[in-house]
DNA sequence: GTGAAAGCGCTAACAC
DNA sequence: GTGTTAGCGCTTTCAC
């Protein structure tokens, strides 16, 4: 990037001169600080507006040592799960007059660290990290350390859907949700299950799987007999998993996808192969992305309130830090639709 | 927000002292500027790394008058169309080491202006505006003027899918696409058409409709007989439009939605009412969002390369400005799937 | 090749 | 209530 040099930009001094006041008065007027008569303040604001003055955020941040901006770290903004979380963060942020910097990590721990560093460099007031962390503590360590330093310097952090980072967290009920969806399928009478999942190295997935295992054990189904197929945590991964399940475990009567995206891929493969859902195979998702109810068959899944989770996380991050990390649970809800039924 | 005061943060001076050099040399070393011996530069970088020094972006931007950040303005990040564009911008931005500020407008011209102002205040190097503009020139005027001032001050601007702003643009073939999708439906033999659309006050929609009209006229179908139903440009809007069409114009054999989101809502209503698609009614979308191919029936639509559009727009914005606005056309492609067929 | 020093545009003491 | 002024942390001439 050939970065742009901003020239000929109005400065606060220009406004002050035009309004016939000192730069300090102008500053106070525009920032709404006390100590200026209403008449003067109003006049300054009017002059500034007419001149089209826009304050330089960098100068302001540097002088004040604060900034009205927050960072949001997601794995992939094109993924509806994160897009909806981002929507919540952006909504509340916009309301609060905050600017939001969004970073992509592509589920790469190194990139995540890099993005966090960049946010710290920008002296954002708060950082919200959405998206699963890694089960391997070594991968967490560097990020954890950087965040710690950031917080000691007065920064605030909130995470969505990950623990072990020692900060305020919004926690979707992954384990309970995994349990609920598996219980639903088991209650329908299914006994030969397959699970389509992303990398088990992500805590979100580990938690959801744990819930599934709980339900199986409780129902007297040996979890070892459940076929767990690991693939990308995407629609494409769902397709691959579905093909593998059909080829290697043709007797399966229910496939539990660990997110909706995979479930969509699975449904698409089953449809292509003319396999009736839920007649021959039931399919479930997880998340309840916007489109889940509009698929055919509509998807039985666990609803997580993504938009609200985004808002809550930002809320936590903006609050005065508590003595110990707060945790805010985001409820889950089993949404039974047309993709599940009793085994044929 | 109780903004945070960043304290106890390392400054460049600390690094310089630790490395036994002057602050100037330290600065040059870290920014890779010439005029420092390799040995010294390397040592400074090593010291900085070990201390965990992160430069203050605000101070740097203020001193240098430049910033390695860009702004992206979208209507709604939760909408897959914009999420995919954002993904493209974030991808290329990440590669170039740029930070990306994303703003929501909610399709509100005032909010859009406000967001643009905020980006200008942040002295971002470039602004990418995605999402349709408004047909009413008055609504454009303020934004246009602000952007003009921004560009005169050295800022760069690129837009996606809107004209009339006098800046570099990535233009999806809305009119051609509208024509292509209508031609497809007409070629199948449909004559009683309905169109489900968002506000005609948005240029994107006006363009797509114009394409549909062209195709109708060319095929000898009076566009006045085409039922154009205006609703929200969302899934919910699609549902409302579908219900209205079924109630008021039961003889329609094809519904053309002006984006995929509406089409998804329409399909969902038709399925609920047990209406066969495409047996009794054909349905088309526009955009080809990721999920379009995985719906049942899979959606016939016009593919726009959203991710690429995002990348191209940022590319344009990062280039040296040309004497006159560049336009880069983003191709379209008719994707025929299962939701269209000959009229019953 | 390296250092000293003058700002970048603003805020926040501190005077008046 | 208003103005003066010393920084905020960095880049970048300009001397050496």
Backbone angles phi, psi at A311, to 5 degrees: -65, -45
Residue with tokens 């029936």: B297
Residue with tokens 């889940």: A292
Helix (H, G, I), strand (E, B) or coil at B148: helix
Enumerate the H helices of A153-187 as residue ranges: 174-187
**Residues facing residue A129 across a β-bridge:** A73, A159
* Contact criterion met (CB < 8 Å) for A78 and B87: yes
Q: What is the pLDDT along chain B (344 residues), one digit of tens a residue?
A: 333 434 457 899 999 999 999 999 999 999 888 888 999 999 999 999 998 888 999 999 999 888 889 999 999 999 999 999 999 999 999 888 899 999 999 888 888 988 998 898 888 989 999 987 777 778 778 888 888 888 887 889 999 988 777 889 999 999 999 999 999 999 999 999 999 999 998 889 999 999 999 999 999 999 999 999 999 999 999 999 999 999 999 999 999 999 999 999 999 999 999 999 999 999 999 999 988 998 889 999 999 999 999 999 999 999 888 888 999 999 999 999 999 999 98
Pick from B301, B265, B304: which is nearest to B185 by CA? B301
Q: What is the pLDDT along chain A (344 residues), one digit of tens a residue?
A: 333 334 457 899 999 999 999 999 999 999 888 888 889 999 999 999 988 888 999 999 999 888 889 999 999 999 999 999 999 999 999 888 899 999 999 888 888 988 998 898 888 989 999 987 777 778 778 888 888 888 887 889 999 988 777 899 999 999 999 999 999 999 999 999 999 999 998 889 999 999 999 999 999 999 999 999 999 999 999 999 999 999 999 999 999 999 999 999 999 999 999 999 999 999 999 999 988 998 889 999 999 999 999 999 999 999 888 888 999 999 999 999 999 999 98
Report yes or no: B110 and A104 within 8 Å, Cβ to Cβ. no
Query: Which residues numbered 35-54 in A keep a CB inside 8 Å of some CB on B?
Result: 52, 54
Pick from B300, B290, B305, B207: which is nearest to B257 by CA? B300
How far is Cα B274 from Cα B268, in angstroms, rounded to an integer?
10
Domain with CATH 1.10.260.40 in chain B: 2-55
Residue B86: list chain A partners with CB under 8 A. 77-78, 102
C-alpha radius of gyration, chain A, whole number: 25
Is the C-beta atom of A149 closer than 7 angstroms to strand C? no
CATH domain A2-55 topology: 434 Repressor (Amino-terminal Domain) (1.10.260)
How far is Cα A197 from Cα A228, in angstroms, rounded to an integer?
7
Report yes or no: A241 and A268 within 8 Å, Cβ to Cβ. no
Q: How many residues does chain B have?
A: 344
Per CATH, the architecture of B174-303 is what?
3-Layer(aba) Sandwich (3.40)
Q: Which nucleotide is nearest to B22 (CA to C1')?
A: C3
Q: Is A68 on the interface with B (CB under 8 A)?
A: yes
How far is Cα B70 from Cα B124, in angstroms, rounded to an integer?
5
Whether cis (ω within 30° of 0) applies to the bond prior to A297 is: yes
Residue A100: list chain B partners with CB under 8 A. 101-103
Q: Is A8 on the interface with B (CB under 8 A)?
A: yes
How far is Cα A267 from Cα A99, in angstroms, rounded to an integer?
39
Tokens of B2: 């109780």
A59-171+307-330: CATH, from 1.10.260.40, 3.40.50.2300, 3.40.50.510, 3.20.20.70: 3.40.50.2300
Q: Is B17 on the interface with A (CB under 8 A)?
A: no
How far is Cα B234 from Cα B141, in angstroms, rounded to an integer?
27
Residue B120: list chain A partners with CB under 8 A. 54
**Ramachandran category for residue A102: left, alpha or beta (phi over 0 → left; psi -120 to 50 → alpha):** beta
Count of CA atoms in the C-beta half-sphere (13 A) of B202 = 22
């Amino acid at each position: 990037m050939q970065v742009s040099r901003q020239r000929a930009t109005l400065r606060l001094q220009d406004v002050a001169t035009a309004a016939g006041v000192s730069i300090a008065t102008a500053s106070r007027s525009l920032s709404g600080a006390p100590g200026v008569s209403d008449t003067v303040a109003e006049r300054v604001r009017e002059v500034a507006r007419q001149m089209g003055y826009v304050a330089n955020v960098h100068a302001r941040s540097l002088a004040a040592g604060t900034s009205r901006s927050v960072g949001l770290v997601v794995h992939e903004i094109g993924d509806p799960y994160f897009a909806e979380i981002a929507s919540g963060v952006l909504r509340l942020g916009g309301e609060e007059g905050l600017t939001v910097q969004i970073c992509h990590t592509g589920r790469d721990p190194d990139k995540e660290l890099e993005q966090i560093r960049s946010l710290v460099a920008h002296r954002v007031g708060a950082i919200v990290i959405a998206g699963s962390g890694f089960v391997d503590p070594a991968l967490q360590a560097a990020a954890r350390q950087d965040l710690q330093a950031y917080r000691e310097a007065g920064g605030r952090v909130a995470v969505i859907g990950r623990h072990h980072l020692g900060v305020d967290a919004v926690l979707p009920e992954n384990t309970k949700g995994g349990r609920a969806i598996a219980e639903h399928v088991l209650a329908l009478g299914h006994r030969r299950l397959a699970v389509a999942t992303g990398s088990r190295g992500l805590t979100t997935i580990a938690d959801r799987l744990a819930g599934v295992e709980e339900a199986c054990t409780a129902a007297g189904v040996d979890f070892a007999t459940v076929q767990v197929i690991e693939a990308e945590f995407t629609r494409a991964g769902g397709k691959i998993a579905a093909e593998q399940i059909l080829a290697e475990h043709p007797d399966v009567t229910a496939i539990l996808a660990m997110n909706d995206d995979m479930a969509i891929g699975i449904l698409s493969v089953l449809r292509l192969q003319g396999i009736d859902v839920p007649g021959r195979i039931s399919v479930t998702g997880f998340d309840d992305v916007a489109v889940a109810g509009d698929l055919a068959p509509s998807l039985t899944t666990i609803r997580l309130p993504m938009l609200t989770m985004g808002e809550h996380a930002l809320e936590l991050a903006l609050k005065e830090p508590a003595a110990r990390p707060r945790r805010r649970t985001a409820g889950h809800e089993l949404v039974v639709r047309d993709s599940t039924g009793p085994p044929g």
